[in-house]
Each structure stands twice: as structure tokens, then as C-alpha cells.
Amino acid sequence: MGGYFPRWRLKTQGQVLPDERLPAAQTAVLGLQHVVAMFGSTVLAPILMGFDPNVSILFSGISTLIFFVAVGGRVPSYLGSSFAFIGPVLAATAATAGAPNPDIGLALGGIIAAGALYALIGLVVMAAGHGWIERLMPPVLTGAIVAAIGLVLAPIAIASASGVGADNPEGDQISRWIAILTFVAVGLVAVYAPGMARRLPILIGGAFAYLAYTGLANGFNLGQPVDFSGVSAAPWFGFPSFTAPAFSVSAITLIAPVVVILVAENLGHIKAIGAMTGRNLDPYLGRAFLGDGLATMVSGAFGGTGMTTYAENMGVMAVTRIFSTLIFLVAAVVAIILGFSPKFGALIQTIPGPVIGGLSIVVFGLIAATAGRIWVENKVDFAEPRNLITVGVALVLGAGNFKLAVAGFTLDGIGTATIGAIILYHMLGWTTQRN
């Protein structure tokens, strides 16, 4: 073990652990596979928030390198755009999902603040251990907060899927049918596709719906035609459009609570990888939080999204049983190269709104449904009034987007559901804790 980084022993068959490696050619191929796995979600999140996808792809690669260094190359993980930021960012900037964000600077300031708080939590965990996090946010709470985020986002997904906009407040039927086609295609790929294709439902399902929309709109005038002129004009290589952050207390107040979700995501990731590899990775939790927080700060400083560990890549590792951390160095470098391709970014910008809406329905729905998985896997007892009332209140606060003015600042549904659930849960447990 001596040394900050492992020495990566060569392994040519069977399960490959984090401190082992495959031959160079196989490492490169598997690195590309992880890029494909993260691609759909990492691109979709910035599009929904009105960010430049090229910047987010670039900083997903840079963030993965930051995380790699923070954990000493001992925890296999890819960092990509976090969906937990979508609701707070749209609320803080009054932006429309899928449209250019008019106040992206304010969103970036909030993202940086969230990253700083996340990094601070990492330092505390490194000094005091992680037990206090599990006591502060037990599974019943993390599930409630995750569900609330998905429900807050639901109206945004439906508006996008319906083609609702300033020039078309009622939406249109073709948009709705394309959105339905999109989430049906994603579902079919997720359930019936062979092999590794089943791990790429967002990418493959979205591509199918994109082609279907293009055929109907450009070929039969059944919708706004897709304009490829920007793709033709864009150069193959060039710098993406970086954006400077601006800091607002109100935006920070809305966005910073996302840290609760990021901690829960990363905690679950480390636990799951530890179980799959048969190794105790808990000693690296603090460094993982610190790396993720620093990566989020760096990304936000230049116009990128908040970052988190990716379940898609964890799924790839579960299927391949290849956990070598060197694979993620390859994936990071590939993502950085893609980030410097304006033509690639221009192609992403041609994705039709109804397709984005259909993908949003799937993704936001999965966020809410993940709560059920958290509760089931952790055997949360809903016969206990404390759990039932806390979850019920959090869900309605989120679904109704309950807003509350506090000391001159306004918390939206995510903020009130997150903070309210934590306070209510522990308040209802005072008697139990004292006894």
C-alpha cells in the first residue's frame, strides 16, 4: 500500500480491483465505454439548465481527475453533471428548462457555494469520521429529499414535453407525441436491449427520438425543423464559452441545500463499490467528499455544472467487474477532448425540445423513484409515525413547490422540503432520543 497512489498490478482475467490494471489497449477501450455511459446524463443536465454542454463535458473530465487525485486513485468513480442542481438552478434564475439561462452567473455562484460547503463537510469527515452524517440524514430523510426534488421538477418536464413556450403557451400535439415516443424508446432500451446497450437507455432512446423528430419535422413539416447550419459552421476544435460566476445570497440560499443530496449520492456510491469489490472504502469517504466539492467549485468557476459521482458508471463496473481506477483517467481525457470541440457542442444544441422533454420525464421520474429504492433497501418502517409524517410533509412541500421567505430570502420547494424534513424528523425524535 506504501505511497499515496497504488502501484496497479497487471491483471489479465477475472475481476480487476481498483489497484489492479488491464493491458493498455483494454484499459483504453473500457475508458471509452465509461465515457459513453456517462454521456447522455452529463449532456442532458446542462441543456436543461441552459448551460453550455461543451463546458460541462470538459469539466466532467477535469472533475474526474480532481477526484482521482483527492482519493489517491483508490476509489473508482467518474464525476458528471448532477441532476440535483436542476431544480434549484432553474428556480434561482427564473429560467426555462432547455432554453439559454439568462442569469447563469448567479447559478454558478450558487454552485460554487454548494461545492465549498461540500468540501468543508469532506474536511470534517476526514477529521471526525462519517457516522454523524448517517445520524443527521438517515435513509428515511435522504429518500424524502430525493423524492421531493423529482416532484419539484415534474412541471418543468411536462411543460418541455408539451412544447410550451412564450410563443406557444398552449403547446402542441406533435411535441407531446414525440415526448411519449422518447420515454417509451428509453424504456424499451432499458428493458430489452442486448448486453451493454441496456446500460445506455438515455443515449440510445434519445438518439432514436431525435431521428424520428428530424424525419417528421424536416421531411414532412410536422414541427419546427431542426437547423443544422450551426453544426456545419462550427469548427472541429476550439475553446468552449466560459462564463464567470456572480454571487447572490438569495441564489446561494436556494442552491446550497443540494449538498444534502450530493453527500447522500457519494455515500451510497462508496458503499456500493465497497460491497462489489469486497473492500472497505469508508476511510476514503472524507477525501471523496472533498474531491467532489473541489471539482464542483472548479466547474462552477468557469461555467460548468455541479458535479457528482455517476451511477451509470457504477453500473458498467458491476457488469464488467473491472474496477481499475486507471480506466477513469482514460475516460477523463476523452471527455476533455470532446469539450474542446465546438462542432460537437453545436450538434448537441440541435436536440429538439420535445425530445428533451421526454428525456426529462424519465430522468426526473427516476430521481423521485430512487426514493423508493432507498427506503426499501434500508427497510424504512412506515408504520412509525415519525417516518410517515416526515416523508408525507416533504413530498407535498416539494410537489407543491412550497416557497417560504426567511430573513429576506425565499426558499423554493426543494429548500423547504430539505430543511423542513431534517428539522421535523429530529424534532419528532427528541423524546425517543432522550429516552
Q: What is the DSSP string of 328-352?
A: HHHHHHHHHHHHT-HHHHHHHTT--
Sequence-ordered strand ranges (E) for 259-406: 307-309, 404-406
- Answer with the residue of higher pLDDT: 67 or 360: 67
Q: Given a cut of 70, is residue 410 above it in pLDDT?
A: no
Instruction: Report how far residue 163's alpha carbon sits from residue 173's, in angstroms, rounded to the nearest whole number.
Output: 8
Element (H, E) at 289: helix 285-302
Q: Give me the mean pLDDT over the 121-128 stretch.
A: 92
The mean of the pLDDT values for the chain is: 83
Give 306's DSSP letter. P
Instruction: Report how far residue 313's alpha carbon sits from residue 30's, in angstroms, rounded to the nearest whole number.
Output: 11
pLDDT given at position 435: 47
Tens of pLDDT along 355-398?
878 877 887 787 778 788 778 888 999 999 999 999 999 999 98
Instruction: Report how far residue 348's alpha carbon sits from residue 123's, in angstroms, rounded to the nearest whole number.
Output: 37
Tens of pLDDT along 165-189?
656 666 678 888 989 999 899 889 8
What's the Cα-to-Cα distance from 163 to each of 49, 120, 259, rounded to whole Å?
17, 41, 32
Q: Given a cut of 70, is residue 433 above it in pLDDT?
A: no
pLDDT given at position 409: 58
Tens of pLDDT along 250-309?
888 878 878 877 887 787 778 777 877 778 888 888 999 999 999 999 999 999 999 988
Sequence-ordered strand ranges (E) for 61-116: 79-81
Tens of pLDDT along 197-210?
776 677 788 889 98
Nearest to 270, CA basis, from 261, 283, 256: 283
Instruction: Decide: 310 and 41 in contact? Cβ < 8 Å.
Output: yes
Instruction: Report how far residue 71's alpha carbon sits from residue 94's, in angstroms, rounded to the nearest whole number.
Output: 37
Instruction: Decide: 34 and 316 in contact? Cβ < 8 Å.
Output: yes
pLDDT given at position 355: 85
Tens of pLDDT along 221-251?
877 788 888 888 888 888 888 889 988 888 8
Q: Give me the mean pLDDT over the 390-409 stretch.
A: 82
- Answer with the residue of higher pLDDT: 326 or 231: 326
Q: Given a cut of 60, is residue 408 above it in pLDDT?
A: no
pLDDT given at position 425: 94
Q: Given a cut of 90, is residue 124 above it in pLDDT?
A: yes
Q: Which three cell numbers stand for residue 392?
A: 408525507
Confidence of residue 317 (pLDDT cuts 50, 70, 90): confident
Q: Give me the mean pLDDT over the 338-350 stretch.
A: 81
Nearest to 64, CA basis, from 385, 400, 362, 336: 336
Say if residue 94 is exposed, middle or buried (CB neighbours under 10 Å; 0-12, 13-18, 19+). exposed
